[in-house]
């Protein structure tokens, strides 16, 4: 005799409600919890031999207070008091699986892939494209020799003190976003200088391509900028190294020319 299984509608509703309630959600607001995490032990990153002079420079930079500058899905940015440097702290709640994530294998796997792309992007940028990224230092694993406390001032003017050795972060030169910098020059009647910097930007992109790097994020106005008229790529989270990357110069040329036409900068 066949048995009939009756599923209660309220029970189904309860199950789905619990599923979506407990389903892990990444946090996009800054907090010490968001940037603190125990990274998987299988992930290893290149150790950079740091000279005493470089150590002194890093310590000097970190001796300043850093004020909240902005945030994205991948990182929170803070600018130094002298406006020369940006310290980025990765949103590890977005890229490192928590114990809850492993109840949802797809979420855990997705985060692991994001973590690898993010760290490899900055690691390769530092090792292969240091001058074109403005990176001063990448600190992708705990150390013992910095012996500094990083003082952050959040958007509410609250201070947070972090141990530099145990915190994951990168130090980068502060850049002005590419279109903002070019707009100022065009508005000041410095068209020749602006055009020269655009060519320097294309040269940077060509250097990246020649070294086998491909930028998966084509929103260039959020990824590139100028440090004292030197172009850099400051967002490296979606840089990928591959054997035969597609030439991106023509793509960026089309974008720049369209932007110039829209704003009458011909």
CA–CA separation, 95 and 74 (whole Å): 8
Any idea where the domains of the chain sit in the sequence? 25-173, 176-262
Q: What pTM value is reported for the model?
A: 0.81
pLDDT higher than 80, residue 50: no
pLDDT higher than 60, residue 3: no
Q: CB-side exposure of 115: number of CA atoms within 13 Å?
A: 26
Going from the C-alpha of 9 to that of each of 15, 18, 22, 29, 74, the distances in angstroms are 10, 14, 20, 36, 40
CA–CA separation, 86 and 93 (whole Å): 21
Residue 116: per-residue pLDDT: 86
Residue 45: per-residue pLDDT: 56
Sheet bearing 224-227, strands edge to edge: 176-177, 224-227, 230-233
More confident residue, 245 or 43: 245
Band (pLDDT 50/70/90 cuts) for residue 72 is confident
Band (pLDDT 50/70/90 cuts) for residue 30 is confident
Q: Which of 20-34, 108-122, 142-156, 188-202 has the highest mean pLDDT?
A: 188-202
Residue 199: per-residue pLDDT: 97
pLDDT higher than 60, residue 90: yes
Band (pLDDT 50/70/90 cuts) for residue 12 is very low
Residue 37: per-residue pLDDT: 65
CA nearest neighbour of 109 among 88, 128, 95: 95
Q: What 8-state DSSP symbol labels residue 218?
A: -
More confident residue, 196 or 27: 196
Band (pLDDT 50/70/90 cuts) for residue 2 is low
Residue 35: per-residue pLDDT: 81
Q: What is the pLDDT of the chain when averaged over all its residues?
A: 83
pLDDT (tens digit per residue) in 141-175: 888 888 899 999 998 999 999 999 889 999 999 99
CA–CA separation, 199 and 190 (whole Å): 15
């Amino acid at each position: 005799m066949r048995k009939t299984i009756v599923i209660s509608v309220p029970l189904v509703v309860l199950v789905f409600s619990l599923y979506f309630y407990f389903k892990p959600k990444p946090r996009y607001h800054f907090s010490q919890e968001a940037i603190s995490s125990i990274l998987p032990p299988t992930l290893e990153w290149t150790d950079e031999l740091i000279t005493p002079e470089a150590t002194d420079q890093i310590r000097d930079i970190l001796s300043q207070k850093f004020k909240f500058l902005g945030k994205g899905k991948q990182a929170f940015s803070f600018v130094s008091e002298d406006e020369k440097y940006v310290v980025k702290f990765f949103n590890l709640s977005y890229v490192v699986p928590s114990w809850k994530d492993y109840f949802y294998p797809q979420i855990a796997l997705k985060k692991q892939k994001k973590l690898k792309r993010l760290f490899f992007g900055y690691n390769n940028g530092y090792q292969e494209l240091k001058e074109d990224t403005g990176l001063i230092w990448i600190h992708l694993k705990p150390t013992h020799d910095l012996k500094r406390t990083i003082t952050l001032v959040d958007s509410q003017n609250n201070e947070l003190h972090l141990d530099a050795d145990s915190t994951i972060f990168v130090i980068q030169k502060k850049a002005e976003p590419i279109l903002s910098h070019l707009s100022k020059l065009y508005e000041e009647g410095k068209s020749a200088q602006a055009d020269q910097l655009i060519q320097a930007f294309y040269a940077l992109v060509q250097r990246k391509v020649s070294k086998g790097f491909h930028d998966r994020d084509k929103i260039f106005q959020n990824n590139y900028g100028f440090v004292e008229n030197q172009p850099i790529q400051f967002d490296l989270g979606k840089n990928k190294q591959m054997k035969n990357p597609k030439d991106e110069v023509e793509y960026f040329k089309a974008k720049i020319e369209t932007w110039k036409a829209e704003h009458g900068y011909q």
